[in-house]
Amino acid sequence: MAKAIKKQALGRGLSALLQEPEKNQQTAGSTSSSPQVGTIVELELNRIEVNPFQPRTQFKEEAIRELASSIQELGVIQPITVRKTKANTFQLVSGERRFRASKLLDLKTIPAYIRIANDQEALEMALVENIQREDLDPIEIALSYQRLIDDIQLTQEQMSQRVGKKRSTIANYLRLLKLDPLIQTGMRDGFISMGHGRAIVNISSHTDQIAIYKEIISNKLSVRATETLVKNYNTPNSVKTTKTNELPDFVKNGVEKIASYFGHKIDVKMEKKGAGKILIPFHSKEDYDRILKLFKSDK
């Protein structure tokens, strides 16, 4: 028989969605064989089904084990949220990490807040709770935002209010979905940061995005160096000189190729006698090392 425990405050974003019923508050002395909606109870784990709307696709085993260790010492501090499905079964809405960790410990019950929710509400609650977590990777957050747009039909302004994020922040996450899938995977695996991704997304061609991505990995470029590389990549044909029109044709014809090869604007200075200099700028140690490797690869 399920036993009710004292109700606790829920997360900010999730509580806005959980419009609790005004009745059916189960007490510890209840003799009901089925927990009532609107109560927090010790619910048997074998009566809970996982959430098919769970937007999160990766659960790190090490993090689950660490959470299990904490639960073993302190118990489950924050109840999971479930919804009633059939007579004696429930479906997980939020708290799958706590659910998994409790099963890992072979616990029999877990504190659970019970509510009524249709499929759309269950998806929205799972998405909003996930977005507010601090351990999600940027692509998981972006995908959650996209699902709120596609499945729940929320505008960016409505999402901003639901999750407590600026509209510009939401837009920046959504732009990451324009990255090539290979780069999205690299971001999820921690090879590059969101800052790198925000720089790369300014390149429209996926082929070129991958070329930049590989260069970042091989040369361990910082976000600032990546931003400079992308900026120069988008304007490789610019020639920086005080007297562009006075350059002879043989110089003009070759400058574009040189700039494209080094991924930089280059400076060309000509003297009246026909001699000249080609200056290749660099913007950081990483950028300088990248240029050196270009010379070495041609040997």
Which of the following is catalytic: 22, 44, 61, 96?
A: 96
Alpha carbon distance 62, 216 (integer Å):
28
CA distance 123 to 256: 52
45: exposed, middle or buried (Cβ count in 10 Å: 0-12, 13-18, 19+): middle
Spatial separation of the C-alpha atoms in residues 131 and 135, rounded to whole Å: 9
* 263 vs 260: CA distance, rounded Å: 5
Q: Is 96 a catalytic site residue?
A: yes
**229 contacts 217 by C-beta, under 8 angstroms:** no
Structure tokens at 253: 């014809």
C-alpha neighbours within 13 Å on the C-beta side of residue 28: 3
Cite the active site residues: 96
